[in-house]
Amino acid sequence: MTSYTELEHHVGYPLSERSIAYLRVREYHASGLTAQLVDIYHSADGDIEQALLEGTDWAEVLVDLLALAGYGAAHIVSVVGTTVPYVRMREDFQLATFGASIVNTPVPVQPNQFGRACLDSVGRLVLRHLRDGLSAPVPTVAFAAFWNALERQADEVARAKNLRRVVKCKTCGAERTEGWDLKRSFEAMYSEAGLDPSFYDQYRSKRGVIQHGEKLRTTAYVDELFRDLSQVQIAAMVAVAKKVGIAPATITYLSASWPVAVFSCRVEEEGRVNIHFERTSLAFAAGMLPQRICGDAERTSEAGVSLPPKIDPLALPPLQQ
């Protein structure tokens, strides 16, 4: 990770009762940032894949704290992997990395597609939110971006149709209008995308959890989030496509993240480490867009691991005699 801070060697930095960080290597960059390799030890209730997801969360927490303590930028440069705290000779142990990959076939784009674009101030903003969602490295960020694209358009729809929100006085029961009824706008956009309008309340709650108190990355939460992310992504893409006048050139969007590769390892007497590929997994959800919106371009996706495996030696645990 890089930051404007400097950790001490051989000193544990507690992140919680379950996690502690130790500085391993430090070097200084000409940019003024300090690059530091940090080991994070933490307990995990699940398997090695779950430990990798949770370890990434603790790395994010450490970088958050460094940004505050150092009054400046702090970034995770890379995560080398997760394994056991130490290993013995001729004993098998697992190692998990983000070494898997997802390959998509390219989608052809014709010059005349851009010529149909109509970008006013709202169109430019929602297009940027949509791009942020499609380019997001993690599904929580993608979900929030797609929601922001829908929310901005919902405000415009409510103003154009004069959709006022009706509230009732808790004391006398009298009704009055107050602000714009964004819920009705959202429900209209869901219906246009062929989705159930009642999803609004469910997705609004999910958005609140993400932006105002995100859960830890667990495999169960990732699966749950992807189910909702696919629907919000469809609604946002259909609404933005209608707004700016450019239809997506593919009918299937694969939302995928955190491709994890798991290896089985063993240290032999001569100091050699034997590494065998065990499995790879990724969380994904495929969302279909209506044919009338997106055309008929095909798209295929493949996921896998290149062999022999590319494992950073820094991910290997220390040897206990």
Which of the 8 DSSP states describes residue 307?
S
pLDDT tens digits, one per residue of 176-202: 767 777 788 888 888 888 888 877 777
CB 277 within 8 A of CB 225: no
Cα 52 from chain centroid?
A: 14
**Residue 220: other Cβ atoms inside 10 A:** 10
Question: What is residue 216's predicted lDDT score, i.e. its pLDDT?
Answer: 64
d(CA 266, CA 316) in angstroms, rounded, equals 11
SS3 at position 154: helix
CB 23 within 8 A of CB 6: no
Indicate if the alpha-carbon torsion angle 231, 233, 234, 239 is positive or negative.
Answer: positive
d(CA 61, CA 235) in angstroms, rounded, equals 32
Pairing of strands 301-304, 101-104: antiparallel
pLDDT tens digits, one per residue of 204-223: 777 777 776 666 666 666 66
| Confidence category of residue 5, pLDDT binned at 50, 70, 90 | very high
Tokens representing 64 are 């958050």
Alpha-carbon distances, residue 244 vs 60, 103, 113, 123 (angstroms): 36, 28, 11, 6
| Backbone phi and psi for residue 154, each to the nearest 5 degrees, phi listed first | -60, -35
d(CA 97, CA 28) in angstroms, rounded, equals 26
Indicate if the alpha-carbon torsion angle 15, 19, 20, 26 is positive or negative.
Answer: negative
| Backbone phi and psi for residue 198, each to the nearest 5 degrees, phi listed first | -70, -10
SS3 at position 264: strand
CB 297 within 8 A of CB 108: yes
pLDDT tens digits, one per residue of 23-69: 999 999 888 899 999 999 999 888 898 899 899 989 999 999 999 99
* Prediction pTM value: 0.70
